[in-house]
Amino acid sequence: MSVFDRDPDDRVQVLDVDGELVGDVPDLSDAELVALYRHLRLARHFDERAVNLQRQGRMGTYPPLAGQEAAQVGSAFALADGDWIAPSYREHAAVHVHGLDLSDILLYWMGHGAGGWDTDANVLPAAVPIATQIPHTTGLALASKLRGESEGSESPRKPGEAGDAVACAYFGDGATSEGDFHEGLNVAGVFDVPAVFVCNNNGWAISVPRERQTASPTLAGKAAAYGIDGVQVDGMDPLATYEVTRAAVEKAREPGDRPRPTLIEAVQYRFGAHTTADDPSVYRDEDEVAAWRRRDPIPRLERFLRETGRLDDEVVDDIEASVREQVTEAIDRAENAPRPDPEAMFADVYAAPSTELRAQHDHLNRLRDRHGDDAFLKE
Amino acid sequence: MSTETQNLTLVQAVRDGLRTEMQRDEDVIVLGEDVGKNGGVFRATEGLYEAFGDDRVIDTPLAESGIVGASIGMAAYGLRPVPEIQFMGFIYPAFDQIVSHAARLRTRTRGRFTCPMVVRAPYGGGIRAPEHHSESKEAFFVHEPGLKVVIPSTPADTKGLLASAIRDPDPVIFLEPKLIYRAFREDVPAGDHTVPLGEAAVRREGSDVSVYTWGAMTRPTMEAAENLAAEGVDCEVIDLRTLSPLDRETIVDSFEKTGRAAVVHEAPKTGGLGGEITAILQEEALLYQEAPVERITGFDTPVPLYALEDYYLPSPTRIEDGIREVVDFP
């Protein structure tokens, strides 16, 4: 039975919470399975270091992802290079899998304007407002469909515009309450576009629990209102999230009898705070956190890979060492990046700056000459 | 009025203002994202949920248009909703509700229905926040007939202006300068305390140049004024407090005395309130004018991420430089 024929609350699982196989292993090679595991470890370690950087005053406010690695990595693993991602602000792991450099991700949270854009990856800027990236995803997918159907188009194509690119949105449970969620999914359904909407339902929109976010029994069930497929998956099971996303991507790319768009509700939990500026102890119980920690995706996959002979102590140790080294290098690169020049503030506001903008730019430069940069900087 | 005072920060004054008005009028309802159990992301509503219960301090789903749109309905019914938008940069989903409905419910129904609602939102930069958390877009709302726009700069004014906004029969956009939420304390009258809307405050009297500002820019402007005083430049600093309607009388009276003016705001220059204030001076006091009006503002760029925000926001040095231009003219 297709995963799309299941009821919205019939949660797809491949590994149970103990890492025991309860479904079909996806069609991934041993090396790919180990690579997936390494990405989970990388994401967790990156996240721990990033939180510490913020605590030490070396980085600004940061939204942690611990607990949510499987949904991000598993789903991004199912995308082809030419596919598109429109992320929210918490998808550090997904966008890294899709090609963004870790140091560029850090630079964004260190307040550098251009952080994250030294790349060819088809990743839109992290959307900090809520749900706004969902209609963009519909548009990316609509453009892909239009290009694919307009034979003989002579306009130049960029990577991922070949006509079969799939667009994938990431957003949280809270985002499903915003108007843009409704509008984006509705338009996607009407135009039957190749889009995958991954809802990382981590249980809490800052202090508001999922059951106070909507009276709907599931988020996946909302797909029915748009005439598209909705499927719920254990978002802390990396193999299940991979498999469900793979199926959704395949269906988006190769139109068949089913609607092309899919809403995936990946049920998971954020172990940490909403951001480093948040204190979750005000609104949720430690018992609840502890219960969800038992579903941690990393030991689950590790146990499965060890028991099936794909992973041993030596490989795990190598992965741990290489992950540490990679994150340290990324932090070094980000911290050694020079403070952006104030010129950067005026760059790229328009393709060609207006006379007024040039005048303001000149004015700032005169002020800097007259008073020195120390007169501006507070630290 | 009681003569008793409490020594409060600006954000504590928000809380005290809300609490006082909720005690005074049971129709006052607070609603928004994380305002209840969490007490607000800036703790502006801390303790209200416990004090007034979940019928009057309502944690909503994550839906700004829903929050403000529902508030309009509640206001039309006869309640006094005080919706919170978590950061001004996230107010845009509610923009349609604010400008298309809140602002015109009275005129649309010839007063049959009204919208006594106060939309609270922290605004402005300088706190090393992520993208979209530093916006200062008061001009959008000042441009909309039917709305009032208020920005306090001191704890006592915060409580008093918030109380007046809640009691006002029309919708008020109440923007809180989060940069100075906890920057300093002052004595705030306990219990009932109002400051009238539409009246500017002269923060420093001076004879050489009138400097108009509001909100978080009031402090660097005062600092610049004191620095310039040491050079013999005597600034009159006017904190507008209410941006719609503007206190034209105070604006013009000061200019008739000094003949020179500067406006300091952190919003971008083009289309900002500096232009409106300059136009008022042109309309009302052209013959007093001795120098071009200087606008010391944010640049016409998106608010940069925090590594560059010190260059974006007017600093005392930049404000002094701009005021000197005015004073040294010609």
**H or E element: which one contains A281?**
none
> Domain for residue B140, yes or no?
yes
Residues A263 and A288 grouped into a single domain: yes
* Token reading at B151: 């920005």
pLDDT digits (tens, 9 = 90+) for B54-78: 999 999 999 999 999 999 999 999 9
Count of domains observed in chain A: 2
User: Sign of the C-alpha dihedral, residues B41, B42, B43, B48?
Assistant: negative
pLDDT digits (tens, 9 = 90+) for A176-208: 999 999 999 999 999 999 999 999 999 999 999
pLDDT digits (tens, 9 = 90+) for B248-296: 999 999 999 999 999 999 999 999 999 999 999 999 999 999 999 999 9
Residues A359 and A242 grouped into a single domain: no
- Tell me the backbone φ, ψ of residue B131, rounded to 5 degrees: -55, 145
Residues B83 and B163 grouped into a single domain: yes
Q: Contact at 8 Å (CB) between B173 and B121?
A: yes
Residues B15 and B153 grouped into a single domain: yes
Which residue, A275, A268, A271, is CA-closest to A237? A268
Q: Amino acid letter at A42?
A: L
Residues B100 and B249 grouped into a single domain: no
What domain range is B285 assigned to? 201-328
pLDDT confidence tier of residue B240, bands split at 50, 70 and 90: very high
The residue from B189, B221, B242 where one domain ends is B189
**Residue A150: predicted pLDDT:** 45
Instruction: Indicate the SS3 state at residue B226.
Output: helix
- pTM for the model: 0.95
For residue A362, give how far its alpha carbon lies from the nearest alpha carbon of chain B (Å). 11
List the beta bridge partners of residue B29: B81
* Token reading at A122: 């088809």
The CATH number linked to B236 is 3.40.50.920
pLDDT digits (tens, 9 = 90+) for B100-151: 999 999 999 999 999 999 999 999 999 999 999 999 999 999 999 999 999 9
List the beta bridge partners of residue B176: B122
> Across the interface, do B59 and A89 touch by the CB < 8 Å criterion?
no
Q: Residue range B159-182: average pLDDT?
A: 98
Chain B contact for A130, CB < 8 A? Answer: yes
> Domain for residue B68, yes or no?
yes
Query: What does the mean pLDDT of chain B come to?
Result: 97
pLDDT digits (tens, 9 = 90+) for A268-285: 999 999 999 999 999 999
Residues A174 and A207 grouped into a single domain: yes
Contacts of B129 in chain A (CB under 8 A): 60-61
**Residue B261: predicted pLDDT:** 98
Q: Contact at 8 Å (CB) between A189 and A195?
A: no
Residues A244 and A277 grouped into a single domain: yes
pLDDT confidence tier of residue A152, bands split at 50, 70 and 90: very low
Count of domains observed in chain B: 2
Q: Amino acid letter at A54?
A: Q
Residues A14 and A112 grouped into a single domain: yes
Residues B277 and B298 grouped into a single domain: yes
List the beta bridge partners of residue A199: A171, A265
Q: Residue range A59-85: average pLDDT?
A: 97
Q: What is the CA radius of gyration of chain B?
A: 19
B193 belongs to the catalytic site: no
**Residue A70: predicted pLDDT:** 98
Asked whether residue A39 carries a pLDDT value surpassing 80, the answer given is yes
List the beta bridge partners of residue B262: B211, B294
Share of chain A above pLDDT 90, in %: 88
Q: C-alpha angle B299/B303/B307, rounded to 5°?
A: 110
Residues 325-344 of A with CB under 8 A from B: 339-340, 342, 344
**Residue B280: predicted pLDDT:** 98
**Residue A117: predicted pLDDT:** 67
Q: Residue range A326-334: average pLDDT?
A: 97
Which residue, A43, A99, A103, A35, is CA-closest to A70? A43
Residues A326 and A260 grouped into a single domain: yes
> Domain for residue B250, yes or no?
yes
Residues B149 and B210 grouped into a single domain: no
Residues A159 and A289 grouped into a single domain: yes
Enumerate residues 6+ apart whose C-beta is below 8 A from A76.
Answer: A85, A93, A94, A95, A97, A98, A168
CA–CA gap between residue A315 and residue A311 (Å, rounded): 6
**H or E element: which one contains B29?**
strand B28-32
- State the SS3 of B90-143: HCHHHHHHHHHCHHHHHHHCCCCCCCCCEEEEEECCCCCCCCCCCCCCHHHHHC
Residues A192 and A233 grouped into a single domain: yes
Residues A227 and A365 grouped into a single domain: no
Enumerate residues 6+ apart whose C-beta is below 8 A from A112.
Answer: A337, A340, B305, B307
Asked whether residue A159 carries a pLDDT value surpassing 90, the answer given is no
pLDDT confidence tier of residue A161, bands split at 50, 70 and 90: very low
> Domain for residue B195, yes or no?
no
pLDDT confidence tier of residue A147, bands split at 50, 70 and 90: confident
Instruction: Indicate the SS3 state at residue A132.
Output: coil
What domain range is A177 assigned to? 3-336
Q: Which of B31, B300, B312 to mutate to test the interface with A (most CBs of A within 10 A)?
A: B300
Chain A contact for B77, CB < 8 A? Answer: no
Residues A169 and A134 grouped into a single domain: yes
The alpha carbon of B239 is separated from its chain's Cα centroid by a whole number of angstroms, namely 10
pLDDT confidence tier of residue A113, bands split at 50, 70 and 90: confident
Residues B214 and B265 grouped into a single domain: yes
Asked whether residue A24 carries a pLDDT value surpassing 60, the answer given is yes
Asked whether residue B173 carries a pLDDT value surpassing 90, the answer given is yes
Residues A196 and A300 grouped into a single domain: yes
Residues 157-176 of A with CB under 8 A from B: 174-175
Residues 226-265 of A with CB under 8 A from B: none
**DSSP H helices in B151-287:** 155-167, 218-230, 248-258, 273-285
Asked whether residue A156 carries a pLDDT value surpassing 70, the answer given is no
> Domain for residue B152, yes or no?
yes
More confident residue, A163 or B214: B214
Residues A246 and A365 grouped into a single domain: no
> Across the interface, do B61 and A367 touch by the CB < 8 Å criterion?
no
Q: How many CB atoms lie within 10 A of CB B93?
A: 23
The residue from B165, B189, B213 where one domain ends is B189
Asked whether residue B1 carries a pLDDT value surpassing 70, the answer given is no
The residue from B189, B218, B233 where one domain ends is B189
ipTM score of the complex?
Answer: 0.94
**Residue B323: predicted pLDDT:** 98
> Domain for residue B194, yes or no?
no
Contacts of A283 in chain B (CB under 8 A): 37-38
**Residue A116: predicted pLDDT:** 58
> Domain for residue B37, yes or no?
yes
